[in-house]
Amino acid sequence: MIDRLTEDLSFHQTALGIRQQRQEVLASNVANADTPGYKARDVDFRAALDAAIDNQRLPDTQLSRTSARHIPGGAQSTHTEGHLYRTATQPRLDGNTVDMDVERVAFADNTARYQAELSVLSTRLKTMMAALQQ
Q: Distance between CA 115 and CA 3 in Å, rounded?
A: 26
Q: Distance between CA 26 and CA 40 in Å, rounded?
A: 8
Domain residue limits, the chain = 2-133
pLDDT in tens, 61-85: 677 778 888 777 776 655 455 578 8
Rounded to two decimals, what is the model's pTM? 0.71
* Predicted local distance difference test score (pLDDT) of residue 1: 60
**Of the candidates 96, 79, 97, 76, the residue with the CA atom closest to the CA atom of residue 87:** 97
Alpha carbon separation from 43 to 14, 24, 103, 112 (Å, rounded): 14, 10, 12, 16
pLDDT in tens, 72-122: 777 665 545 557 888 878 878 998 999 999 999 999 999 999 999 999 999
